[in-house]
Structure 1
């Protein structure tokens, strides 16, 4: 009686939300109530969570968009995250050998959070969507952690770094947990899956193949990066690209592949500069795709719930069919073996009787058979028309209403949804000719009375004068042609330009140009470009305008 009253109260709240004005914020609240009142009862009645996916909690609906990075060791996954953020993150380790041995969720820091959060603490936090991962055991939780830092990029998304996938059967056994199972769990919940490949090693190991197979059904989320592409010349790059597509075609067994982005996602000088324009175009296309994640988060959650409901509905028909044909008293074990063996015929019968259930909605036959071997068929339930009717109504009416009100395009792109910071600033920034902090290098000269750049000013002035200055300044295009000789990627040159163009007029005078050349030298020496220009690097002629209240950069310079 108490359970019935609780259900009625929940249904009343659900009706309240449907009748109230729908906003971008309460779309998620309505999704929660749809799931709890209509889909979750069906899932529990037919043991859906034991076969397919764990139950959803409020945190799953409230979570920020997530990006999952996968690849074999030393393909640049961790470096890619650092490139996106523009900063190191706690626990970062980069090297040519396998260095990442954990699933690491890189997320924005809460006031109460530490730099590193152990896996057991992550799955216990009710505000985070990781509680179901506890079923993979302590061996996995010891290889799971959160990395927290205050980053403008992470205010809208979280990024999941994964262990580098190794080759050979021994590596899979030594992990001590179901690597492919964990991968599949994340694949169901993330908004993007980025597969990284090294241009120098395109082989796909046994474990990586199993992991890729676990991604089937999530093809719309997958993006592929051919990384470190500047390490091969133009002709070799064409061959490498063809080899990658051939290898992926064998794994995914599909005539059509996901979008492949070619580039080198780090801020080091390009070894082969001939493909610079291609790399920048590819990077911009990828980043625009990632920039769309926050504004499309609500749509993605609706889409995932819709797919889940269709699978749950088919699952209910399968379980009910097995229960109907299962004997009550004698010959249970032999009948169970027969039903599992003939599961394909049961699929076909259900499709004939219910033609609104397309074959693509049915779970993979072999996997379903493997799970059924360990199940007690006597606990399966008969078909419940009322539950199925509730799910049908949710699919045909309730979700359709939500789809009609979810903002699309520019309407969804509010200030809160816009990703800023890190490498994303260089995508939409047209205030530099490249648009389309720390370290010894930036600190050199600190505390000295002399402007350190003046020691090389004569050399820089000769280059400056060769660019044909007008009224003591060179245009953005002229400065760009010289700065490109460094072979640094445009993201690094954009940061250098923003620091050097102190008066924000889209041109450089001799002092600003010398500063730009000095910052390029810092980067080429292996140091980081400072986030803000240190006071000792400010040209003496510009110190009167370097004030916190100085004008914002103009955005009309092309």
Structure 2
């Protein structure tokens, strides 16, 4: 079989096949042993999420404050997903169609160049196209949460299914091509929110650029900002790199990194692939850096090839991130509830708390020793508070919080240890903070000392100052007594003047001046 160095530039790209028993063959969705391990881990992951994390999200209305819809079993068990984002003419559709034509030459389903449609390309024994409305309600497809974006979006979304060995390992989602400059029109739906929805579920995000069009439009900038929190998934692809000379390519690369540096605020340099993907190579293409482009293309295809290896690891990583954010959200909501009065003035108190959210966030961070990086965006959280009622603020539920702690500290790390190649996991730390009176243990021996039941030690979620509740009760009793007394005096005086209480003898004498 030919190596990637022997591939023609005008031929469809192909995934390099390993010789012998390689890491990809051992840890692949085509390998029966790996599939069994993968399925068992996914089943347990679904169980951990539904029983220990989802109840916490539901109790504190987490999805109202986050763009994340509740995860279903189909979302957790779905194939790895590759999200393609780029401006028009960057070659996204050529990339997909090249994969399809190479793996299944007789396939008639491809992706047409478009500026207004999301297309999910999936493997299926028979070719068919599923409209967006049907895909959003199908129990066999991981797109149920998309119906919240409305009919305007669903009419511009479809699932294209075709037999493809490549697509047996992952699903590709092609996004609408973004017009350069400010030419984009109103799409009728929230484009960046849709991008954020797919980015949360994607295992790899390919951000494509054209070597002749490096400008970043406002809509593309908003789409890149929607990837915040998922930077580890993002890879930049500079396509059509053979349309410039080697010297010009060096300048184009520098200009691209400078443009991205103003948009992507991350301390790490993003991986950029210099490739040239054509269904038919143009005659004016340059050949002076052909070996470099072939090596870069091979690296890109290796990234795609290794998706099945890291799929389960990424799923656990996403559940860990979601659990940490839901846990912080629950503590924020409980804290805000504690700051509001018990009887009246709740609306005014909530308005005051909303105006001072940074201060309240810092108070929660200090009280529970939480990193500020896990706290939500202040403006988005403030916007979500509009229209909230006091009853929607859940009180502190220690049982739910300790269950999420157990999932973060024990259950999810154990799932990682059961996966092949789990040592490559570099995601969010799964171990929550321990109490100061607990000894540190390595995560290998005991990830979390605290369980759901603790004997002889006060829980970290117990009120720090319980006397505050007693003083509030005394205050309310005194207030109620004074109100009752004055109501009796005033009411009695009015009744006496009106002559309604002639037979009340001693009370009248007492009230007379």
TM-score, normalised on structure 1?
0.66
Distance 1:275 1:362 in 2: 46
SS in 1 for 2:362: helix
- Distance apart, 1:328 and its partner CA: 3.6
SS in 2 for 1:127: coil
Moved over 6 A (4+): 409-412
Distance 2:166 2:92 in 1: 17
SS in 2 for 1:175: coil
SS in 2 for 1:23: helix
Q: Would you say 1:235 and 2:250 are equivalent positions?
A: no
How does 1:19-58 map onto structure 2 within 5 Å?
23-52=37-66, 53-58=68-73
- Distance apart, 1:72 and its partner CA: 0.8
Q: Would you say 1:133 and 2:146 are equivalent positions?
A: yes
- Kindly tell me: are residues 209 and 153 of structure 1, through their superposed partners in 2, closer, same or farther at Cα, counting changes over 3 Å? same
Match of 1:179 in 2: 191
Choose from 308, 315, 324 the match for 1:294: 308
Contact 1:93 1:100 in 2 (8 A): no
Q: Please list the CA deviations of residues 301-334 of structure 1 after superposition, one character each: whole Å capped at 9, or x if unmatched.
A: 1111011000010000111111111234433333
Distance 1:260 1:403 in 2: 29
- Distance apart, 1:25 and its partner CA: 2.0
SS in 2 for 1:296: helix
Match of 2:448 in 1: none
Contact 2:115 2:179 in 1 (8 A): no
Match of 1:311 in 2: 325
Contact 2:130 2:158 in 1 (8 A): yes
Match of 1:530 in 2: none
- Distance apart, 1:169 and its partner CA: 6.2
- Distance apart, 1:336 and its partner CA: 1.9
Q: Please list the CA deviations of residues 220-274 of structure 1 after superposition, one character each: whole Å capped at 9, or x if unmatched.
A: 1101001111001111111111111011111112232320000112243361101
Choose from 320, 325, 333 the match for 2:334: 320
Contact 1:91 1:116 in 2 (8 A): no
Distance 2:109 2:179 in 1: 24
Q: Would you say 1:213 and 2:216 are equivalent positions?
A: no
Distance 2:203 2:60 in 1: 28
Q: Would you say 1:259 and 2:274 are equivalent positions?
A: no
How does 1:464-543 map onto structure 2 within 5 Å?
none
Contact 1:115 1:147 in 2 (8 A): yes
TM-score, normalised on structure 2?
0.72
SS in 1 for 2:309: coil
Q: Would you say 1:389 and 2:402 are equivalent positions?
A: yes
How does 1:24-173 map onto structure 2 within 5 Å?
24-52=38-66, 53-85=68-100, 86=102, 90=109, 92-94=111-113, 99-111=114-126, 115-167=128-180, 171=184
- Kindly tell me: are residues 167 and 144 of structure 1, through their superposed partners in 2, closer, same or farther at Cα, counting changes over 3 Å? same
Contact 1:68 1:193 in 2 (8 A): yes
- Kindly tell me: are residues 51 and 120 of structure 1, through their superposed partners in 2, closer, same or farther at Cα, counting changes over 3 Å? same
- Kindly tell me: are residues 255 and 127 of structure 1, through their superposed partners in 2, closer, same or farther at Cα, counting changes over 3 Å? same
Contact 1:197 1:227 in 2 (8 A): yes
Distance 1:380 1:228 in 2: 53
SS in 1 for 2:315: helix
Distance 1:317 1:163 in 2: 39
- Kindly tell me: are residues 321 and 409 of structure 1, through their superposed partners in 2, closer, same or farther at Cα, counting changes over 3 Å? closer
- Count, aligned residues: 383
* Runs of 5+ unmatched residues, structure 2: 1-35, 426-513
Distance 2:183 2:292 in 1: 40
Q: Please list the CA deviations of residues 391-421 of structure 1 after superposition, one character each: whole Å capped at 9, or x if unmatched.
A: 1011111111111110118999xxxxxxxxx
- Kindly tell me: are residues 101 and 336 of structure 1, through their superposed partners in 2, closer, same or farther at Cα, counting changes over 3 Å? same
- Distance apart, 1:345 and its partner CA: 0.7
- Distance apart, 1:170 and its partner CA: 7.0
- Kindly tell me: are residues 89 and 393 of structure 1, through their superposed partners in 2, closer, same or farther at Cα, counting changes over 3 Å? farther
Choose from 287, 298, 305 the match for 1:284: 298
Distance 2:380 2:178 in 1: 23
SS in 1 for 2:43: helix
Match of 1:540 in 2: none
Choose from 352, 359, 363 the match for 1:338: 352
- Kindly tell me: are residues 362 and 168 of structure 1, through their superposed partners in 2, closer, same or farther at Cα, counting changes over 3 Å? same
Distance 2:108 2:156 in 1: 17
- Kindly tell me: are residues 110 and 370 of structure 1, through their superposed partners in 2, closer, same or farther at Cα, counting changes over 3 Å? farther
- Distance apart, 1:90 and its partner CA: 2.3
